[in-house]
Amino acid sequence: MFDLRLFSIRESRHRIHNPLTERQLGDLGERLDLPAGARFLDLACGSGEMLSTWARDHGVTGVGVDLNPDFVAAARARADELGTSDAVRFVEADAAGYVADEAVDVAACVGATWIGDGVPGTLDLLSRSVRPGGMLLVGEPYWRTSPATPEALAACGVESADAYLPLPDLLASFGAQGYDVVEMVCATEESWDRYMAPQWLAMRRWADTHPGHELHDEVRRLLATEPQQYAAGARMHFGWGVFALIAR
């Protein structure tokens, strides 16, 4: 399993742990036309920015679940900062297999479909918490351009182009699983840059101040290799989107 401490180090400058900007995330919440008081479950919620800001801006209520204690602490602090701590709460727990005690209006997993061993399993997990007619939100990469060489595949961190689907095929797969796609927002190269590049400064600052830490050499390795790998891989080939789904 990926060391959670590395997530905490590299994404310490982030409130949104995926390649969407604050504006994109806010626009998505506006477009979904959520009723005030809508009940929400956010699995692998990270620092809780979606749940807390949507509670502030759209009156949703709900629960966020994440395994990373640093992210959960940041989520609780952010809810306090925004004055939404009475509407939302955050649970430090493994989101894999987590099902809400009561059916919710929206169940989300934005960028962590490994909790269900992929998109189909994650949709099945989310469906166990959502009310009939409710909405699922799932965030997932897709190929903008499929890598065609071993070097390009390695830069993308995959062994085969079968690891992801092109966007039309990903959307079709939702339909094949019995869902209508009712809204979506997709990352841009600029939003990818705003997600990835701040991680390098965060890692450099951390490495400078923790020379004897057991993770120091790994952080230095990432600093030395990741910018070039990102330019040759994710920035060139990956798309990423959040897709709103309602069961047919």
User: How many helices (H) does the chain have, and how many strands (E)?
Assistant: 10, 7
pLDDT single digits (tens) 202-235: 999 999 999 999 999 999 999 999 999 999 999 9
What's the rounded Cα separation, in Å, for the pair 102 and 140? 26
Angstrom distance (rounded) from CA 10 to CA 178? 37
**Domain boundaries, given as residue ranges, for the chain:** 18-187+240-247
Enter the pTM of the model.
Answer: 0.95
123-134: b (≥16 Cβ within 10 Å) or e:
bebbbebbeeeb
> What CATH number is given for 18-187+240-247 in this structure?
3.40.50.150
DSSP 34: P
> How is residue 139 written in tokens?
């965030």
**What is the rounded distance in angstroms from the CA atom of residue 222 to the CA atom of residue 203?**
8
Per-residue model confidence as pLDDT tens digits over 60-72: 999 999 999 999 9
Instruction: Count other C-beta atoms under 10 Å from residue 112's C-beta.
Output: 22
| Residues 80-97: tens digit of each pLDDT | 999 999 999 999 999 999
DSSP 243: E
pLDDT bin (cut points 50, 70, 90) of residue 36 is: confident
